[in-house]
Amino acid sequence: QSYEYDEGSETWPFFVLTMLFVVLVPLSISQIYRLFLDRSNATEYGDPEQEKVQKILEEVNDEFVTEDVRVFRQAYEKSARSNIWSKRNIVLIVGWALVAFLIQRIRENDAIVASATGLFDPYALLGVSPSATDRDIKSAYRKLSVKFHPDKLSKDLGGEERARIEEMYVQISKAYEALTDEITKANYLTYGHPDGPQTVSHGIALPSFLVDRVASPVVILIYAVMLSIVLPYFVTKWWSRTNSFTKKGIHVKTASHFVDRLANFKPSEIVTVDLIVNWLSNAEEFKIIFPNLTAADFEELIHDHIDRTNNSRLKDPKVRFRIVSKCHSLLHGLLDLACGVRNTEIANATLETFKCIVQAVPHTPYRQILQLPNVNKEKFLEGSVDEIYTLGKLFTYEDKEIGKILGIDDEHKLKKTLTVASHIPHLKLIKADFLVPGEPQVTPSSTPHISVKFLVRSAKQKIIPPEKFPESMLEEPQDFEFQKDPFSILESQPPMPYSYAPFFPTKRRNALCCLVALQKDGKLIQTPVVIDKLSLQNLNKDFDKRQVKDLDENFKPEEWSIGTIKIPLGQPAPAETGDAFFRVIIKSTDYFTSDLDFTMTMQVRE
């Protein structure tokens, strides 16, 4: 009924210590992970070929990045990296200092020390280590009992001394019994003392001054403020922030705007990049960052970025950079929603818009060429006798010719341009199947996935026909591990390196978006699958199509790396046997290149 308060400061330090540990230990672990183990910003992949490609692209990127972009990137990277004096670090430092202070206080507190030493430790009493055997315990007891036996004591000892030694003897006997006698041992293990349950006191682990008449109104006030102001404030802030954003990371108002545009979209309208940019310009995220600007302003800024002009009335490049860098998540969100309403044309246009924004190139027929650095647009457009739209076509000419076509006179500049051109990954389809792990074919109502085998190649390299690659290079392991998780093969590929994108405000990595549509109605059937791991080592190979004329006996297919993409299907195979036709689209988000767009037959057989 009557609770004791912690007058002697025996227990409240432990309480505060526990609270501190609850906060500090997870925080410390996560901070250590972030500082030392987080690999998401890595430029080392453990894959020397991939690092080689990375290095080449980084060098070229650095050469062509403008000063404005460089400054913006530095500021962005600085804020992303953890600062020494960030809030987290300060909390950690102060927290651990408090812990040290409390531990020191506990050690200096005699009352705590006394109650700790009051604990019954049979091993210490017998003078043996906790791992001693029964024989050691017996011999230790025998020695001590001889020393402390009341009958063996000298008659000269005073009453106090005698009492002390007798008490000692009792303790030693108890200790011996606690370790050997069954009943006493049970008592010791259950209650911590061989005599059974000791007195237990219950109290409140808080000093009494907190509840004394003087301090208690203050404590109540603190409680009131915490419960009625501080707690609701933080919970509301957290809740509205969580509620404001969809799973894909875009604002709910932006998402509902996109859904509205998608639902009211007329099939007679042709989807263009301009249309997508117009939809983007109404994003809520932009309004939050720049409340004073209108949708028309945002649209103009994005167009300025794509056309590499500066027509907007807002001349500060930071405004444009923030808007453009936000487009990444907005476009991914729109892509997801477009797949949700099954609109293939809009999904495709979203990906094309992505490329236009990343490369700052408008969606003209010449976009593959215009994404290259140093191109003299006027000379190129008026010059070509033979219509050149693709990098592949460009590389049918000798380097000097290419310089003339692109209007590049400087040899050093031409070399850089050709480096970029030959390091843009192109995909060549080798094989695509519907696979059901453990089955030789697709059976009715099974769950197949799509397995795509392709070659990553440079536009400069000679085309290798798919037949040149033996089945052994394309087949997959059939062991149990593979059947359990057929998608594990994707994890073995290294992450994509940073892209060549000197106009995009932040450093970014290429990704491949995979869309699947039904050929019967031409509509998409599932959300996009984004691939961010792919080996680009083939880009390092010297296989210039202007020099290699024929694929002779010296051609070794094993030297080439085959890329794999696995696309899970969102629905099972049809319940009846027959053929179903699917269109698979695999597009790069960052480059204008030869993407994959092909038809696959699902042969459903018993």
| Contacting residue, 249, 383, 470, 522, with another protein by CB under 8 A | 522
Does residue 544 interact with another protein by CB under 8 A? no
Only segment of 126-134, 153-161, 277-285, 390-398 that touches another protein (CB under 8 A) = 390-398
Which 8-state DSSP code applies to residue 538? G
- Coil, helix or strand for 462? coil
Strand partners, 530: 513
- Coil, helix or strand for 428? strand
Residues 426 and 350: their CA atoms lie apart, in Å, by 20
Structure tokens at 61: 């990127």
**Is the CB of 165 or the CB of 455 nearer to another protein?**
455
Contact (CB, 8 A) for 344 and 522: yes
**Is the CB of 50 or the CB of 368 nearer to another protein?**
368
Residues 426 and 588: their CA atoms lie apart, in Å, by 9
Does residue 379 interact with another protein by CB under 8 A? no
Does residue 342 interact with another protein by CB under 8 A? no
| Contacting residue, 266, 315, 412, 556, with another protein by CB under 8 A | 266
| Contacting residue, 390, 451, 493, 499, with another protein by CB under 8 A | 390
| Contacting residue, 101, 233, 239, 598, with another protein by CB under 8 A | 598
Cα angle, residue 380 at apex, residues 376 and 586 outer, rounded to 5°: 95
| Contacting residue, 165, 175, 250, 394, with another protein by CB under 8 A | 394
| Contacting residue, 86, 115, 272, 577, with another protein by CB under 8 A | 272
| Contacting residue, 196, 365, 438, 572, with another protein by CB under 8 A | 365
Contact (CB, 8 A) for 27 and 92: yes
**Is the CB of 128 or the CB of 459 nearer to another protein?**
459
Does residue 550 interact with another protein by CB under 8 A? no
**Is the CB of 247 or the CB of 520 nearer to another protein?**
520
Rounded to a whole number of angstroms, the distance between the first and last alpha carbons of the chain is 77
User: Considering CB under 8 A, how many residues would be counted as binding another protein?
Assistant: 30
| Contacting residue, 351, 432, 459, 539, with another protein by CB under 8 A | 459
Rg (CA), the chain: 37
List, as one string, the DSSP characters of 135-192: HHHHHHHHHHHHHH-GGGS-TT--HHHHHHHHHHHHHHHHHHHHHH-HHHHHHHHHHS
Only segment of 139-147, 259-267, 436-444, 534-542 that touches another protein (CB under 8 A) = 259-267
Which 8-state DSSP code applies to residue 245? B
Residues 68-127 within binding reach of another protein (CB under 8 A): none
CB of 280 to another protein, least distance (A): 19
Does residue 597 interact with another protein by CB under 8 A? yes
Pure H helices in 109-133: 110-117, 122-126
Does residue 268 interact with another protein by CB under 8 A? yes
| Contacting residue, 83, 190, 216, 519, with another protein by CB under 8 A | 519
Cα angle, residue 555 at apex, residues 551 and 561 outer, rounded to 5°: 115
Q: Identify how many contiguous H helices and E strands the chain contains and give both numbers.
A: 25, 9
Only segment of 34-42, 105-113, 490-498, 593-601 that touches another protein (CB under 8 A) = 593-601
Residues 186 and 197: their CA atoms lie apart, in Å, by 11
Does residue 465 interact with another protein by CB under 8 A? no
* Parallel/antiparallel/unpaired status of strands 578-588 and 512-518: antiparallel
**Is the CB of 216 or the CB of 599 nearer to another protein?**
599
Does residue 577 interact with another protein by CB under 8 A? no
**Is the CB of 188 or the CB of 366 nearer to another protein?**
366
Does residue 578 interact with another protein by CB under 8 A? no
CB of 581 to another protein, least distance (A): 4
CB of 469 to another protein, least distance (A): 19
Does residue 389 interact with another protein by CB under 8 A? yes
Residues 422 and 455: their CA atoms lie apart, in Å, by 15
Only segment of 2-10, 18-26, 383-391, 477-485 that touches another protein (CB under 8 A) = 383-391
H or E segment and range at residue 364: none
Residue 457 CB contacts under 8 Å (≥ 6 apart), including other chains: 425, 426, 427, 428, 463, 464, 538, 539
> Which residues form the interface with another protein (CB under 8 A)?
264, 266-270, 272, 363, 365, 389-396, 459, 463, 519-520, 522, 545, 581, 583, 594, 597-599, 601
